[in-house]
Chain A
């Protein structure tokens, strides 16, 4: 860790105002010299590893009062970005009406981390690629643009097969984002240029030629809330996470699935995949393959095949294609079999 200035913001406006000092306005949020600190479970970690080296850190925990509420409205759910992961995961109404959200959060991290981490920061959690996190490896296009990617031909068992480029194959590590993705959430932002709302699906950016740019946030932009519309598929939803141990481990493959069934035929399916892609991955091809069909072993597998049609394996992660398909198949069958209270 290197020396940095530390400030506590008392409200959104004072937090955002600190970014007025930032000289180059065109730099993206994750690489800005000023960083927000909420739960700190990613930022502090990466500062200790010397991966992130902000010169100023703005503590926004005082904003919990204003930005930490969980509200149910007629048209859906509003999750304040400063709500802690555990608050959302333990919320009885969310468990019942948006099970995929509660499950994704409950299966993530450890109890201690869930108590600390804010959900706004959670969706911005950075990759666990070991070559990114260990600065003694020189080649990382995400950390040092243009330096190459050590993972392409390296130890890449945990790396992505979807949304990859020849510059980066780092996996998006989180779980909650897949739930938001499947439920078509919207993100409320506040920033130096004012407030805006964007689809959650446009928050993360695939690596392409600029893996160092991870989100569409501009410096100083603060996630203030997530909005999830009420939808018929929300109740029949689940999160399935497949990993190397029972708890406290990132997904090798995960699936957030939400189904609206007409008798047993799919009216609408919403699917997002984790552990296999560079960003929270919406599997629209799989959704389309299911529409109008009854979910059984055959249709579920056909949908899973469609989801991974464009997957690009590397030396050690080819199994993720098969595993990802099986994970989605299992999740679809499980969701179709769910007993959903009316």
Chain B
């Protein structure tokens, strides 16, 4: 065991290395655009340089003279593509804006695609394509002239009389926060390769939802879903950006059919900023009324979020922020602000990143006001139920705080801002909570167990870097009583049984639950529990013996798993069969605050910042996070998830922001040089503590999703630390050094 492979504690699985580790470090792992197709043509996108208006003319004369050009696709010859109706979270399209024109509704809208024998020729033709526009003045963001506001139409918790409780409270806090636009920027770009064999289409595309890709590509082309085979062996980062159908996929498939040749599209980095989704900018107004002892009597949280003109997308994280502590009364609201922008979409921990940032910042401000230790403030408000009376399935928040505080050395902190210093560097220590709802969905799997003691698991799961193949393999190995190296796990192909979208951190819980069910059914066929005991520790011949008793060499089991939270009944108010929906490309996910109990994974994060007293540079020399999330399947992959997430959290606090030119509603820093993320030198010590927790309520495997936990709260921990270092409270992210030059 070493730091990368923590010793498993209670209710934790072994730190098995990833099954695909060697493939990835040797470069052998194939991603969608690496998949070989015969004689491909290459495509290049042309995107709109205006955010609002219309195409008035297309002159392709020069573009067509480029040697090797095969086709130019514009709104004039792509009308046969069907419009998909948008709805948030339904496994559908990323946006209602799917046409290549003539109407232009956001910056960087796809307006044309050139296809040629080579990538270079396609690109040159794209540069030579002349498109003229009639431009209208667009609305860019909050406060821009011309934006319209609507209700987000999302759950907004209310309990008690929050306004009266606020008025009566001896200690009052009223604060506003804001978060910027951010983009996922997975290193693997938004590629698509389409190849037809007669009327059968194969789409190679990095995807977080194989059955969404299959069904929605079919719908866009107006063909039957069984005519589409979706392949996505490995995904080079996704973070939500590859969970829905983008307009490009149908376009590439149409081009391949028209040209009767496979077509491969690898869009550019800057195109990735506008052809997929993003995290929209948000604003928050928070009111807290508390007693002198810190007990919060009233919590009010209003959110505002930017979205596109046609789609009422919002993340509405008040559903989470209002429930995380034992508030006396709560009142919440969420408003969407419609601008001439592309539709935002899911980005790692969508609701909780902005809303818990606001909550956890406000708690720190309250602690300062009360002259209370911020950990103690959280302890005072720790509770076994929320303001509506709903109880937690399990809650280990203060255990996380206590372990992280100990490891961090919090007791050595002097509370006064600016009181800790190392030469010219001001030292600040801050902390904040991380919360993420535990989701699970209906899932299916096929497991084959052979008499030679080897097994194969088939699930249309998504290896987006989380290690799903490994934890699925560990589940099968454990239930079948064989070593992990005898389990083959195959994922990323719509020919395998469907599982939900790899979103909401449900994948481990959903996949492992259904694989467990299939394996247990196999063991039952092989003779039940007795066999399992002998197989578990015994030699392979014991398995062979039970197979020979049955007179077969393979036992195969297809399983369907429907968790209670998505079962059609009066409690869930669902009516459709979730398995049927899943096959049709609509995932059913439930959990979080929407069940009988509140189901959340939790953590506590501690950050040390150093701020240069003169020039204001902000450095993060130390990060400690402690997390409790039910059963940990694999301590190695879990640690990696938390580590990457906390680094992203630091990035989200100090670095990341997509700049918008408000005059034309366009992104300016749409590349990885100008869109800042931390480099290795920015992250020094980072410690992950896995806090044991057992929760038998949430799902059969007892797993809470962890992929989106670690980056929640980090930004608040950073700004809280910056305040402690400097006395300057930053309420608009990102923190930039110019905000600290005031002293």
Contacts and interface: CB of A to CB of B under 8 A. Distances in A.
A232 interface: no
A242 B124 contact: no
Interface in B616-631: 616-617, 619
A98 to B, nearest CB: 24
A323 interface: yes
Nearest to A150: B661
A93 B123 CA distance: 47
B659 A155 contact: yes
B617 A242 contact: yes
Interface stretch (B365-373, B434-442, B583-591, B670-678): B670-678
Contact of B124 (A3, A249, A322): A3
Given A244-B676, A244-B737, A246-B679, A50 B127 contact: yes
A297 B670 CA distance: 40
Interface residues of B, number: 36
B268 to A, nearest CB: 9
B397 to A, nearest CB: 32
A249 B682 CA distance: 12
A33 interface: no
Contacts of B736: 244
Interface in A208-253: 242-249, 252-253
B737 A252 contact: yes
B615 A319 contact: no
Given A155-B669, A326-B615, A329-B614, A245 B674 contact: no
Nearest to B50: A136
Interface in B81-134: 120, 123-124, 127
A327 B612 CA distance: 11
Interface in B652-685: 654-655, 659-661, 663, 666, 668-670, 673-674, 676, 678-682
A130 B615 contact: no
Contacts of A153: 663
Given A155-B669, A242-B737, A245-B682, A326 B661 contact: no
Contact of A330 (B615, B660, B679): B615
Interface string A1-29: 11100000000000000000000000000
Interface string B700-740: 00000000000000000000000000000000000011100
A128 B671 CA distance: 12
A252 B124 CA distance: 35
A319 B679 contact: no
A1 B121 CA distance: 9
B655 A154 contact: no
A118 to B, nearest CB: 20
Contacts of B682: 245-247
Contacts of B424: 330
Interface string A147-183: 0001001110100000000000000000000000000
A72 interface: no
A130 B669 contact: yes
Contacts of B666: 137
A330 B681 CA distance: 22
B478 interface: no
A243 B618 CA distance: 10
Nearest to B684: A246
A50 to B, nearest CB: 6
Given A130-B668, A130-B674, A319-B738, A246 B681 contact: yes
Nearest to A253: B615
B270 A134 contact: yes
A250 B62 CA distance: 38
Contacts of B4: none
Interface in A123-158: 128, 130-131, 134, 136-138, 150, 153-155, 157
B49 A137 contact: yes
Contact of A245 (B616, B679, B738): B679
Nearest to B127: A50
B741 interface: yes
A110 B616 CA distance: 23
A157 B659 CA distance: 10
A131 B674 CA distance: 12
A27 B197 CA distance: 55
B679 A323 contact: no
Contacts of B674: 128, 130
Contact of B738 (A128, A134, A137, A323): A323
B681 to A, nearest CB: 4
B679 A1 contact: no
Contacts of A323: 615-616, 737-738, 741
B267 to A, nearest CB: 14
Given A155-B669, A244-B676, A245-B678, A326 B619 contact: no
Contacts of A322: 741
Contacts of B49: 136-138
B224 to A, nearest CB: 39
A242 B614 CA distance: 11
Nearest to A53: B127
A327 B617 CA distance: 11
Contacts of B661: 150, 154-155
A139 to B, nearest CB: 10
Interface of B: 47, 49, 120, 123-124, 127, 270, 424, 612, 614-617, 619, 654-655, 659-661, 663, 666, 668-670, 673-674, 676, 678-682, 736-738, 741
Instruction: List the 7 closest A-B pairs by CB distance, nearest first.
Output: A319-B738, A246-B681, A136-B49, A247-B681, A155-B668, A155-B659, A246-B682
25 contacts: A2-B124, A50-B127, A128-B674, A130-B668, A130-B674, A131-B668, A134-B270, A134-B668, A136-B47, A154-B663, A154-B668, A155-B660, A242-B615, A242-B617, A243-B617, A244-B654, A245-B681, A246-B682, A247-B679, A248-B679, A249-B676, A253-B615, A319-B741, A330-B614, A330-B615
